[in-house]
Amino acid sequence: MICSYCYTSHIKPKHDVGHWWNNPLDSVYVCSDKCYTELEKLVKDRTWMDYKPPAIFGKKKKEEKKVSKKKSIGAVTDKQFTGDLGKFMK
């Protein structure tokens, strides 16, 4: 099993977070309370698709300049998308 936030492998599952993406139970986990909190922030901010975990992309070098990101629409989960439909169905 792999943590859905830090991408550490062979974890002991701590929290099931698959419901944020309408995945079946027992399929998406995080390994700790910290990973749960951080991933929850990304989901609420709708920036979870922009997150680049160091385990996959490596750590940023200090010399790298920060590139300013333009504000985008954001990535919504299935639940966020269907939850917003009510305001359009009036």
44 within a domain of the structure (yes/no): yes
52 within a domain of the structure (yes/no): yes
Q: Token pair of 6, please?
A: 């830090």
Structural domain harbouring 34? 15-87
Nearest CA-CA partner of 13 in 25, 47, 22: 25
5 within a domain of the structure (yes/no): no
State pTM to two decimals. 0.62
9 within a domain of the structure (yes/no): no
Q: In total, how many domains does the chain have? A: 1
25-54 confidence digits (pLDDT tens): 888 999 999 999 999 999 998 888 888 888
4 within a domain of the structure (yes/no): no
Segment 61-86 shows an average pLDDT of 64
Average pLDDT over the chain reads 80
2 within a domain of the structure (yes/no): no
pLDDT at site 37: 94
Q: Which amino acid belongs to residue 66?
A: K
